[in-house]
Chains A and B, each alone.
Chain A
Amino acid sequence: MNHCRKNYSPSIPMKVVAFLIFLVLQLQSAGLRAQEEKQADIKLTFAQTDSTRTCKATVTSNNISVKEIEVHFYVQSMYALLPIGDAVATDSAGEALAEFPMDLPGDKNDNYVAVVKIEEDDTYGTVESKGNVKWGVSVKENENEVWGSRSLSASREKAPMYLIVVSNLIIGVIWGTIFYVIFQIFRIKKESRLLKK
């Protein structure tokens, strides 16, 4: 017996189930596609006037500006990200501005890294963009100078000069005298008539 029907046509419940399955699969891949495809880019521009420093973040997705999306501004530090201000929502042009402090220190080249993030957005997920900017204020104190200078707390090569001079002087004079006296003992021996015999 031929088990295959010539005209195979699914029954209605079967069609409903199939459609449901299709829908679920579509949603899932849409979700995946959302993570892969709906990509946002953040471009950073820095502007500085006499008294203000602003960082502008432009959020685009496939070259279309993204409006009303929250971006967070940070400065990168050794252990963590320092938040700059509160989260700012992009305007109609997809731009968000944040004012950076005028007195934030930078590295030895006066640079620091500004980081702008979209955090756990429903559509775009987490997006991050970094930019090096030479806005760092020089650290006033040169630590190496303090560390390298002579002091009572420093290591033995960096003892204060006055201490080295005075102590060596005193030790020199006193031990010089001691050696002189020891030498006198041998002079006594030399002067001995007993031993000459």
Chain B
Amino acid sequence: MIEENENTDRRKFLKFGLLAGGVTLATGLGLKSGILGKDSESTGKKVKLLTADGQLVEVDSSHIKHHIAESKITALQAREGIEGKKFVMVIDLARCANARKCVEGCQTMHHKQPPVEWIKVKKMQDAVSLAPYWMPQPCYHCDNPPCTKVCPVDATFKRKDGIVLIDNERCIGCRFCMAACPYNARSFNWGENWGTAIDTAKTDKTDACCSTYSPETSTPGKMGTVEKCDFCPDMARKGELPDCVTACPNGTIYFGDANEDIVTNGDETVRLSELIKKRSGYRYLEELGTEPRVYYLPPVNRQFPFEEDTEIHNTSES
């Protein structure tokens, strides 16, 4: 009898232990999947983000997507543009803190490397007595573009959706458009693989980006032609925002379709007309009559004070 009891006790203990362990495990798994949802791949790298109400949070960097340029459209489609859209950008100068993530995002996507920048972040100080501020400057895709006017071979053109693109299969490299642009938005490919991050270009997962050229991807670049910010129309065709918009940790850049009157910076979505009106949006060098499609919101009620840059960028050509 005693032997049996002992055995029973042991059995009981084992049963209890196994059951308890199993239940804990099951509960734990069940709770986790029930509450948290599917597990996402995390890179382990953390990036700081500013939410709409001014909170700083840390997010895994896999959530900041770096997209790959790809496009499989016809030449006519590239010249006409996406039907029914009229892309517009709003840049909130009250939020720009010279993080330069927009610059990096754009360069990553188009396989560019310093000193070539298609979106530039400049310290602006209109006069010595006026306050300095950081100003990101992409191409403005003007509605009265001085650049498309002067191109002798129709290599740069304005599309229905407002985007101004360059066809580097047509460009003869005369650089008249660069002279004509008052905002210095354009860059030139001065040599083979000029400002190109060749390594990433070669190891890119979708080979499409670097073998099938389209004016919509602006990649790969061609020696002796002009290139510039293109508002990422290949991303728009996939319903994705340009890289500079999503890369900014402060949500400085808004992008959207003016026909819908809605712009978003990835987190906040607002009506374009309301945003401009409420925040006194303006366009840079409006008096030149170029009619840019990028609006700026003045640097008032800044979320953080102006800070000088801590390092000098792009000091060398390679």
Could you tell me which A residues sit within 8 Å of B by CB distance?
Answer: 1, 3, 11, 13-14, 17, 21, 24-25, 27-28, 31-32, 35, 75, 77-83, 101, 104-105, 107-108, 112, 139, 143-144, 147, 152-156
Provide the residues of chain B in CB contact with A28, threshold 8 Å: 26-27, 30-31, 34
Provide the residues of chain A in CB contact with B259, threshold 8 Å: 105, 139, 143
Nearest CB to that of B271 among chain A residues?
A82
Task: Please list 14 pairs of residues, one from A and one from B, whose beta carbons are closer than 8 Å in the complex, sorted by A's number.
Answer: A21-B23, A28-B31, A28-B34, A32-B30, A77-B260, A77-B269, A78-B236, A78-B262, A80-B262, A80-B266, A105-B261, A112-B260, A155-B154, A156-B154
Distance in angstroms between the alpha carbons of A1 and B3 in the assembled complex: 11
The verdict on B111 contacting chain A, using a C-beta distance below 8 Å, is: no
Residue pair A35, B34 in contact (C-beta under 8 Å): yes
Provide the residues of chain B in CB contact with A1, threshold 8 Å: 4
Could you tell me which B residues sit within 8 Å of A by CB distance?
Answer: 4, 7, 12, 16, 19-20, 23, 26-27, 30-31, 34, 79, 81, 84-86, 144-145, 148-149, 154, 157-162, 236, 239-241, 255-257, 259-262, 264, 266, 269-271
Residue pair B256, A77 in contact (C-beta under 8 Å): yes
Distance in angstroms between the alpha carbons of A164 and B236 in the assembled complex: 36
Given contacts A77-B269, A79-B241, A105-B260, contact A31 B34 (CB under 8 A): yes
Residue pair A75, B262 in contact (C-beta under 8 Å): yes
Distance in angstroms between the alpha carbons of A21 and B20 in the assembled complex: 7
Distance in angstroms between the alpha carbons of A32 and B260 in the assembled complex: 40
A11 CB contact (under 8 Å) in B7, B12, B145: B12
Distance in angstroms between the alpha carbons of A124 and B277 in the assembled complex: 38
Residue pair A147, B160 in contact (C-beta under 8 Å): yes
Which 3 pairs, one residue from A and one from B, show the smallest C-beta to C-beta distance?
Answer: A80-B264, A77-B262, A80-B269
A21 to chain B: closest CB distance in Å?
5
Interface SS, A side: mixed
Q: A79-B239, A82-B270, A143-B259 are in contact. List 11 more A-B contacts (CB 8 A).
A: A3-B4, A21-B23, A25-B23, A31-B31, A32-B34, A77-B256, A79-B240, A108-B84, A143-B162, A144-B160, A155-B154
Provide the residues of chain A in CB contact with B34, threshold 8 Å: 28, 31-32, 35
Nearest CB to that of B35 among chain A residues?
A31
Provide the residues of chain B in CB contact with A156, threshold 8 Å: 154
Given contacts A77-B262, A105-B259, A156-B154, contact A31 B30 (CB under 8 A): yes
Provide the residues of chain A in CB contact with B240, threshold 8 Å: 79
Distance in angstroms between the alpha carbons of A1 and B27 in the assembled complex: 39
Residue pair A153, B144 in contact (C-beta under 8 Å): yes
A25 to chain B: closest CB distance in Å?
7
